[in-house]
């Protein structure tokens, strides 16, 4: 893994950098002091390493992971979308339209039978029906949309395997 990182980045990541990344993935709100204790370094070098990792794009940002059920957004739906036509402009317009929809929390351009995979979070089936009719259905050039409803979440992580 380290060889890959050395070849494909402007900086070399050592074992301590990788440990810092793993720790921050698990708990992004760790203080520099807590990180320093966990990697057996003093605070200043850990602070400098974290800033270097941020500056070089290894750390894109910090988030709080929320409980969708408690926020009344417990219905998760994966929606496979096929476009009627495949031009650059139609694809760009679809992406612009999808970016405006707050219910769509993830969107991937995929290969295979479908063009895009959407992850949608809403309160319930009624809200999803309204979303499809009022929002998704108004986007031009959608040829088809196939929904898969999540019955139970088995594993959910934002961690990149290091």
**Domain ranges for the chain:** 2-55, 75-149
Place of tokens 């707050």: 102
Q: What is the CATH number of domain 75-149?
A: 3.30.70.920
Model-wide pTM > 0.75: yes
pLDDT by 10s per residue, the chain, length 162? 455 454 455 678 999 999 999 999 999 999 999 999 999 999 999 999 999 999 999 999 999 999 999 999 999 999 999 999 999 999 999 999 999 999 999 999 999 999 999 999 999 999 999 999 999 999 999 999 999 999 999 999 889 999
**Domain 2-55 CATH assignment equals 3.30.70.920:** no
């Amino acid at each position: 893994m380290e060889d890959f990182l050395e070849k494909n980045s402007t900086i070399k990541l050592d074992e301590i950098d990788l440990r810092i990344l793993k720790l921050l993935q698990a708990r992004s709100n760790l203080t520099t002091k807590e990180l320093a204790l966990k990697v057996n370094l003093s605070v200043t070098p850990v602070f400098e390493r974290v800033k270097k990792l941020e500056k070089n794009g290894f750390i894109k940002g910090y988030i709080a992971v929320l409980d969708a059920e408690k926020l009344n957004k417990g219905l998760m739906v994966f929606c496979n979308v096929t476009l009627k036509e495949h031009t650059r402009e139609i694809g760009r317009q679809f992406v612009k339209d999808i970016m405006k929809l707050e219910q769509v929390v993830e969107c991937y351009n995929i290969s295979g039978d479908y063009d895009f995979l959407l992850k949608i979070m809403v309160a319930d089936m009624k809200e999803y029906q309204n979303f499809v009719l009022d929002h998704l259905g108004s986007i031009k050039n959608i040829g088809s949309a196939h929904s898969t409803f999540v019955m139970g979440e088995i594993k959910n992580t934002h961690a990149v395997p290091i």
